[in-house]
Amino acid sequence: MPNAIEFLLRAQNPDGGWGYRLGGMSYVEPTAAVLLALSDSAARACGRDFLLALQHADGGWGIAAPDSESGWMTAWAVRALADFSEARAAVARGVEWLLATEGQRITDPAARQTIHTLFRIDATLGAWPWQPGDAAWVHPTALALLALAATGARDHARVRDGVAYLYDRACPDGGWNIGNPWMLDKKIPATIQDTAIALLALRAVGVTEDEGRMTKALRYLRDAIAQAQTSAELAWGIWALEDWGLGIGDSLTRLNALQRADGSWEGNPFLTAIAWTSQKAKRKTQNVKVKPET
Amino acid sequence: MRREEIENQESKIENGLTRRAFLRLALVTGIVAGARVIQQATEPVGFERWFRWMLRGNLARFFAPPARVALAACATYDADVLGAVRAAWRDAALPDVRGARVVLKPNLVDVVEDLPCFTHPRVTQALIHLARELGAREIIVAEGTTFRRDVQAVLDATGYTDLLARERVPFVDLNYDDIVEIPLRGGYTRLKTLFVARTIRDADVLVSLPKMKTHHWTQVSVSVKNLFGIVPGIKYGWPKNTLHIQGIAAFLAELADSLPTRACAVVDGIVGLEGDGPLFGNAVPSGVIVAGNDLLAVDATCARLMGFDPAQIDYLDFGAWAGVGAIDESKIEIVGEALARLRRQFARPPQMG
């Protein structure tokens, strides 16, 4: 698939960043994702400089140049810049921002009980929000764990908090959604994308398949990806399953069948970067067995 | 001694205070106490802002012409949906879209098997056909889903992928669009500005195209709640909870008050959703299309169609009080079908918290 890379190189904006579509505004997330996928040094240097220029004084990143408030995309920037030795200082400040940022914890016993009744979650667990002041959610928590793992901070207490949060927010079917496993008495189903990123994060911080919950989560993802239809579901699912050393069936064939003639998936640099990265994912652990359902 | 002096002497109370002075003191004390009560009651937002909202609301209630809301009967999605939408659009005097860039914003909140929690594609299709009939220059279907980052999965499962391909209409994922920052006019929340999708800002006409349903946080979810989809998930996350914690009623009023483009609403009430909305409620065949330019008036009318009192619904009550739109029956002119004939009692949503 060399034309995926050609597409990504073509999709770089003059400011050095990438957007979610050709010619679209440059954002931190797609820029970071493309940096993880690309090996071209000139394009990477421009992308790196784009990210460095957008770092805020508080050490975090907004979503794009017009956004002056630091938020969840800080984790993407830290993860991508961790691969650049010349960005060490920026990464350190980004890590500080991440460690200082926490989702709202509900400690009032009555409020905590109400939330537990409604959602069956432990609202005292902090983890990471999309934006400061918000509650914690699965996606930004998983991204923060990935970023901290990449910077050697995987033994930090906040990482353990994040893992506890992800365990708490697992859906009854074993996977993850945005972070609401229940709504009143209704089970909210998991999604492939949220499950994949949670599994990637847990793997990155050292969780192994020996942890019983992982068996259920991996089984969910393996079964769900067999039914997956969209590029995003397939790309994220393949990435996570490959990372955990599990078989992906015909998912790769189905993902490649969705690639466009211009080398992209859906004309989207972010999605193309994820699809490309998913195919580069190495099997770090071979022959992981998903235990049969009991 | 003159009579006046005698009266003054007689009116002296024991400590030497005259009756006139006493009355003055009581009046001043009353004014100060009243001002203190108002100041305390309005402290969370500040007296000046409270007074501005109250004044605007009262001016609207007393002097604004009634909002027009059109009702059109349409028994099923296999019936003449385009005819019903066309009648409602005309009767409600919705905007002239000749030469306009029209953005249709259905509610595609998520997919739950067999539950009608999203705007039916046949209603969106009817709007596409109508916009073409009326001479729109460009038609875009756009949404920023609340619970999933991957909108394609939702488009596939709801039938919108097929619809968009068949009609050759582009879809814009508002969660990932370019962003523009707009000022918030009302000051109802702590937010001073809001990022919205550029596609919304650049539209000539925005049609909020919601499903008529109940909602466990807001009681009803219609044209205003549907606008949560115009704010980008990449900024506010999924499920855009950052905006909920501003206070849902206040934020919805803010959103309706600060839209960067002309908006109107056409509501899919052919089959509504009752009970545990926005996702898990039950289908209610209601057989109605509702349309109007005043989004609050449309939502208030939908509330009445569902058997609820709009004044008991926080965002409607607050929005009307602040002058964002009309909810009083006397301030809404219903045209087309009679409301009483189309009213169905929906089951209330469960109480949260």
Give residue limits of the domains in chain B: 3-36, 67-342
The answer, yes or no, to whether residue B229 has pLDDT greater than 70, is yes
The ranges of chain A with pLDDT < 70 are 1-2, 282-294
pLDDT at A285: 44
Q: Do B156 and A21 touch (CB under 8 A)?
A: no
User: Is the model more confident about A234 or about B24?
Assistant: A234
C-alpha B330/C-alpha B158 separation (Å) is 38
| Residue in A29, A140, A230 closest to B153 by CB | A230
Contacts of B153 in chain A (CB under 8 A): 191, 229-230, 232-233
**pLDDT of A3-18, one tens digit each?**
999 999 999 999 999 9
B111 pLDDT tier (thresholds 50, 70, 90): confident
Contacts of B192 in chain A (CB under 8 A): none
Q: Do B149 and A67 touch (CB under 8 A)?
A: no
The pLDDT mean for chain B works out to 93
Task: Please identify among residues 74-113 of chain A the ones whose CB lies closer than 8 Å to any CB of chain B.
Answer: none
| Residue in A134, A192, A230 closest to B237 by CB | A134
Give CATH for domain B67-342. 3.40.50.11440
C-alpha B242/C-alpha A136 separation (Å) is 11
A240 within 8 A of A247, measured Cβ to Cβ: no
Least confident of A76-85, A154-163, B30-39, B115-124: B30-39
Q: Do A139 and B149 touch (CB under 8 A)?
A: yes
**pLDDT of A166-200, one tens digit each?**
999 999 999 999 999 998 888 999 999 999 999 99
